[in-house]
Structure 1
Amino acid sequence: MPRRTRLLRLFLTSALPAALLAGPAVPETLIGTGVNSYGLPGAVEMPTAEAFEDGTLSATVGISDYDRRNTIAFQIMPRVTAALRYSRVEGLDQRRGYIWDRSFDLRYQALDESGWRPAVAIGLQDFLGTGVYSGEYVVATKTLNPRLRVSAGLAWGRLAGEYRQADYTDEGGKPNVDDWFTGSAKPFASVTWQATDKLRLAAEYSNDNYGLEVTQGAEEPGSKFNLSATYRFGEYYEVGVYTIGGDSFGAQFNIALNANKPAYPSGLEPAPAPVRPRPAPSADPEGWSGAWSADPTAQPAIQKALGDALAKEGQILESMALSANRAEVRIRNGRYLQQAEALGRTARLMTRALPPSVETFVITSVETGIPVSSTVLRRSDIERLENRPVGEIAQVATVTNADPRPAGLVRTPGLFPRFQWAIRPYLTTSLFDPDDPLRYEVGGRASLRYEPLPGLVLSGSIRQRAFGSIEQDGPSGLTPDEYLALDTDIGPFGVPRVRSDGRMYSGNDSPVITDLTLAWYAHPSEAIYTRVEAGLLERAFGGASAEVLWKPADSRLALGAEISRVRKRDFEDMFGFRDYETTTGFVSAYYDFGGGYLGQIDAGKYLAGDVGATVTVSREFANGWKVGAYASKTDLSAEEFGEGSFDKGITISVPLSWATGQPTTDRIGGTIRSLSRDGGTRLRSDGRLYDNVRQSHSGKIYEGWGKFWR
């Protein structure tokens, strides 16, 4: 027996039982949650029953003698962790010599550690994929002292050394339910020691013999014992090295961000102007009497002064209605991520600009030119509660539907027409291609926005590529010239190519108009919103689209419908079109479950003519982070859809203010999908009504109400 193996076994058979004799109390732990080579809580390769902090988004990149693994994991809720993995496995494809495999994991924290009781987790590994890593486990973890933690469990499938011989050449992407918890169950165990505040060491016993890789020519692990050392630097980063069986080696890098822990928790925005208490009636009898309201010059002067003050706060005062005891202001928030912060700052400025007789404040939030909600406050409450807990002002505020056509509303002079433009760099990435899993393009983007009237928006953007590895390419291994020579947009099995030829729109050295539309947003009744849009709707399609949304300001439920007539755009001609055209439409239901959890169902006809539904579940944090997952199933068979069997993916949206501390509504993020196929795809649009409208409705406002006095 090799000396290193004997020493490791001695450690596991002596230190572990000795540690188990420690008292039942769980001391304040110094051990951070370890991340294994699969990008989930674990030791070296095997899982543990540790859990990430709620809201943690983790990314892990690792390479070993056997494979390369890239994993994104998210702690969806305190007990549920999900992961998407993209791995290069050597030797399985005769043409390339390897495959790039997509796999999904899901684990549930059944028990938390308490007293003598260990933490217990149940996991499904690669439960939605080709099955290269398919396996299941039940694991228990116990903290023995502040620096020592042990785990033990039972595993099935890959983790028990039984590769299930899934056919990696099939379409994949479907749950392999029949395989779950089948075959021989085999034990595993691990010990984690926090040697220093930065250095964590782990040893484990594993039954994964890498049989799949060994049959493809890889060397079999020398033993069933694995070791790792992980070093933490900074607050978010870890780098580690490990050995599998003592003679195969690997390294990994991990970054973990927590949506609940912004870099600047309080933000770096300047302090707002304080509330100005009203003078005593004897000190300003005319102001208290309301006689000032008869002066025709009073409102224009007040509106200009308030508008100028709001502009310094990043708000636009679009219009105002003013009487002796009531004032309504309609504002467009251009700076603050939480609408509640914009409301609080507006309310303060109103106390400074309005005569003392005005007791009722109505602050109406405006999005894309349409009023979406009105927050009603008493001035005396604002004065009384400025230095009280924020919950008290929330209790006396009322959020209602905005009146579409109130009497006495005066538009701010000179506000329309409005013209905005910007020039910024852009970065586009293409992920998960079997031949080149990461491609990119960098260039400049010019955008414009012209609003001749409230709700009427002409907008567009043009891009100029500078450099990158994304080049024009045809689908199914065809060159661009070969694909153009086919002169058809219909793919195999008669399915129109609406996304699978997306690379034909890439790699242009000349300027490209990505979108150019004229849109009309309207609010015909208190709970009804509409959008009509025409032009070059996105990079691949142009046409016309209409949408209607029912969403009362205080309702968790919203219902909508959308219909579009579109035609496929030319690959290179800015204003040219191809032959394929279609009508696509959906009915949608949205529900806010509270606590930041949102659900959405869209059912209808997709771009390729297939009919089905998309289910989306997402979680939005009070600081603006939003992470979600979706799946679309249509009447296309798995064979017609192609690899992946049905459309699915993950969406991530992170506000820049979370990282910089500076107030801004800008975000970064996008959709991560394993494949771009033609089935289950919709038009890409940033102007859909629900996400714009709900930002200023009661549920979203109250979730961010802690920012009202910020």
Structure 2
Amino acid sequence: MAKLIFGVRPLNSLWGLTPLLLVSHTAVAQGPGTGQSDFGGVGLMQTPSARMNEVGNFAASWSRTAPYRRYSVFIQPLDWMEVGFRYVSVENREYAASDGDRNNLDKGIDAKFRLHQESRYWPELALGLRDAGGTTLFGAEYLVASKRWNSLDFSLGLGWGYLGNASDVDSPLGWLDQRFDERPGDAGGDQGGEFALDQLFRGTMAVFGGVEYQTPWDPLILQLEYEGNDYTDEPQDNDQAQDSRFNVGARLRLSDNIELRSGWERGNTAMVGLSFSTNLAGLSQVKRDPPPRAMNAPADPDWASTAESLQRNAGIRVDEIHRHDDTLTVIGEPATYRALSQSEGRANRILSAKADDGVDTFRYRWQRRGLALREDVHDRDAFEAAAGSASHDTPYRYGVYSHARLEEPAGDSIYQGDAQRASWRIGPSIEQNFGGPDGYLYRLSAYASGEYTTDRNGWFSGSVTGTLADNLDKYEYIADSDLPRVRTYIGDYLAEADLGIGNLQYTRTAKLGDDLYAMGYGGLLEMMYAGAGGEVLYRPFDADWAVGLDLNWVRQRDFDQQFGLRDYETWTGHATAYVDTGYEDILAKLSVGRYLAGDYGTTIDLSREFDNGTRIGAWATFTDAGDDFGEGSFDKAFYVTVPLDAFFVRSSRSRATIAWQPLTRDGGARLNRRHALYPITEERDLGRYWEEYKATWD
């Protein structure tokens, strides 16, 4: 079973409460050489080009060329790399394990790498892999060059596998080793999902290419393509008649983000397609936050009012304010603005109006969930001078510093907030599932979630979901696996709970040392599991690495998602290393441990965060389950995490996650923990503090 998931949730979540996500349309570059191919990814129709989209580009597309329907999602994480997932529905072939009324579905992973950027005299050059991580039914490799001339964009390439079935020439690599002369079949494994390394660049080749023409009418682009496939060696003996290797087509831009595609392929078959594209790195919204307080604004009447102003205007949820000699220290959590410099700049104005002339220094001790993370120190006189004159900005900037020497603040506590507080939210949610034998499945629900803090370090959290509409009666589990069914009961959980408890737990944090943090939790931990567990994290201040360990005992919940439990229970946990690679803001996570089905293995997670806070990434899990894993020999997914203030006119630190996972399988299944220490302690990393310094004045 495959799934497309939307919502505000942890990155490792599968299904669950998923508030509907409003879409902000960011215009993407349009013109020849930028459109999606039939297979997804930048190209013409059946063939790829060497072109890349802008960094952060996200494209979802659909196309139909009988007997194939293709659904794809492609992302541009780096300027030289494009990656994507794709489903191919074969209309005239049945799903092998079905009862005869379902089309066969093939799933694949693509990647394209730019080898040379176009210059005045030299073309763009790229190397690519198609369907490299699935059954490889449509597996191909290619080397392609593209060159633009006025309104024309030309591409010419060499293809192996599906792109080289016309067999124009023998393999040029045969002189290195005879094994390159023949291309093995079934390289993706009996169950699919393996990387077909022994298939790469083997077998005969074919020439492909084409040209796109930007017409005088800006929305319309015309295409002419010569493909390298002759359709005489189609997967599953599904050969197609081909009257011509030339294809003709057109792309019509309906809006800045939506494009309609059509064509005539194989000389006898119509193609139609639709693409949606947006630049995730460019998502933003003009803010209408309350303006910063003026420097000459009257002071608040008391410190309780000052704390309210700090939350309302500076986005700081204040726990305490201390006064010691010439220093004011504000202890609190960032609640509104993603840039701490923005919160601090606004707070400086409020404190400048309130503090007497004997206060020279403002300190902000940042914490989350009761965990002290860092302290930022500002010189009052330097700030007031800089706020009044741009020429004073430089000396002020170099007077700001951060540290992690967080002893108990000295002096008197002049304000202490109430640690006990409650919050809640309600809204719609949707779980969507496609790419499996059941076709498209959905559940439209209403959810309510809430939280009650008992003290600085402890809180209860819970959520309930009620079904409004669904088609889950179509769900049927079809898989060949000897593992315990730790995730593949998903359809039963969704179908049997008209009103279910998604989460109900108590969580508590503690700081064990200068750089060591801990968290414990127990209750109904997620939709499918109840239990208890804990996590410790060692995270040095402003270091580019951290290590953590979590251990959990869990028991499977009843399908109705109330308080009943099933018989299955297990221990699960992982040791995880986090490394900021220092390259293009890429974070690498490596987890090793025991998964829910009792299998042992490793999860590798790579993600990149853009300047606007959007993070795109992918993970893959490999375990010792072997043939017991079921369809697909390893678990994998793409995800996108977007700051919600990219869609709204008010600033927010909340985030929404879209995840796309091609299969629901029991191998490599992880517990969906609601809270984790690494994101809670993110302020230990100075990150982009100085890059975002200008937000001090916003």
C-alpha deviation, 1:171, in angstroms: 1.1
Q: Give the counterpart of 2:248 among 222, 227, 245.
A: 227
One-letter identity of the residue aligned with 1:622: D
Give CA-to-partner distance per residue, 1:141-194, whole Å, 9 cap, x none. Answer: 11111x111111111110112696437882111111111111112111211111
Q: Give the counterpart of 2:505 among 506, 517, 522.
A: 517
Alpha-carbon contact 2:457-2:509 (below 8 Å) kept: yes
Where in structure 2 are the equivalents of 1:341-380 lying within 5 Å? 341-380=342-381
Secondary structure, in 3 states, of the residue corresponding to 1:63? strand
Give ranges in structure 1 of 5+ residues lacking alignment: 1-27, 279-297, 478-490
Alpha-carbon contact 1:317-1:331 (below 8 Å) kept: yes
Give CA-to-partner distance per residue, 1:13-48, whole Å, 9 cap, x none. Answer: xxxxxxxxxxxxxxx996461221111111122111
Secondary structure, in 3 states, of the residue corresponding to 2:190? coil
Where in structure 2 are the equivalents of 1:340-489 lying within 5 Å? 340-386=341-387, 388=390, 395-401=398-404, 403=406, 405-408=408-411, 410=413, 412-413=415-416, 415-436=418-439, 438-471=440-473, 475-476=477-478
Alpha-carbon contact 1:472-1:506 (below 8 Å) kept: no
CA distance in 1, matches of 2:449, 2:152: 55
C-alpha deviation, 1:572, in angstroms: 1.7
CA distance in 2, matches of 1:393, 1:682: 48
Where in structure 2 are the equivalents of 1:60-75 lying within 5 Å? 60-75=61-76
2:205 maps to which residue? 185
Where in structure 2 are the equivalents of 1:235-634 lying within 5 Å? 235-264=256-285, 266-275=286-295, 302-313=302-313, 314-386=315-387, 388=390, 395-401=398-404, 403=406, 405-408=408-411, 410=413, 412-413=415-416, 415-436=418-439, 438-471=440-473, 475-476=477-478, 492-493=481-482, 495-508=483-496, 510-572=498-560, 574-594=562-582, 595-634=584-623
C-alpha deviation, 1:644, in angstroms: 0.8
Between 1 and 2, higher relative CO (CA 8 Å, sep ≥ 6) is seen in: 2
1:200 maps to which residue? 221
One-letter identity of the residue aligned with 1:136: E
Alpha-carbon contact 1:130-1:172 (below 8 Å) kept: yes
Give the TM-score normalised by structure 1. Answer: 0.85
C-alpha deviation, 1:668, in angstroms: 2.4
Structure 1 residues 694, 413: closer, same or farther in 2, change over 3 A?
A: closer
CA distance in 2, matches of 1:61, 1:532: 45
Alpha-carbon contact 2:67-2:91 (below 8 Å) kept: yes
Alignment of 1:211 with 2:215, yes or no, is no
Structure 1 residues 690, 29: closer, same or farther in 2, change over 3 A?
A: closer
1:22 maps to which residue? none
Alpha-carbon contact 1:362-1:375 (below 8 Å) kept: yes
Alpha-carbon contact 2:90-2:105 (below 8 Å) kept: yes
Q: Give the counterpart of 1:640 among 628, 641, 647.
A: 628
C-alpha deviation, 1:370, in angstroms: 2.3
1:42 maps to which residue? 43
Structure 1 residues 451, 218: closer, same or farther in 2, change over 3 A?
A: same
Alpha-carbon contact 2:133-2:188 (below 8 Å) kept: no
Percentage of pairs with the same residue? 28
Secondary structure, in 3 states, of the residue corresponding to 1:506? helix
Alpha-carbon contact 1:404-1:525 (below 8 Å) kept: no
One-letter identity of the residue aligned with 1:671: A
Q: Give the counterpart of 2:155 among 151, 158, 183.
A: 151
Secondary structure, in 3 states, of the residue corresponding to 2:436? coil
Moved more, 416-425 or 527-536: 416-425
Alpha-carbon contact 2:614-2:643 (below 8 Å) kept: yes
Alpha-carbon contact 2:518-2:535 (below 8 Å) kept: yes
CA distance in 1, matches of 2:131, 2:442: 28
- Higher Cα radius of gyration: 1
How many residues end up aligned between the 2 structures? 645
Alignment of 1:681 with 2:669, yes or no, is yes
Structure 1 residues 380, 605: closer, same or farther in 2, change over 3 A?
A: same
CA distance in 1, matches of 2:30, 2:143: 23
Alpha-carbon contact 2:621-2:634 (below 8 Å) kept: yes
2:21 maps to which residue? none
Q: Give the counterpart of 1:105 among 104, 107, 110.
A: 110
Structure 1 residues 562, 97: closer, same or farther in 2, change over 3 A?
A: closer
C-alpha deviation, 1:59, in angstroms: 1.0
**More helix per residue:** 1
Give the TM-score normalised by structure 2. Answer: 0.87
Give CA-to-partner distance per residue, 1:109-166, whole Å, 9 cap, x none. Answer: 1111111111101101111111121111111111111x11111111111011269643
C-alpha deviation, 1:56, in angstroms: 0.8
CA distance in 1, matches of 2:188, 2:127: 26
CA distance in 2, matches of 1:698, 1:214: 52
C-alpha deviation, 1:207, in angstroms: 2.0
One-letter identity of the residue aligned with 2:359: V
One-letter identity of the residue aligned with 1:440: Y
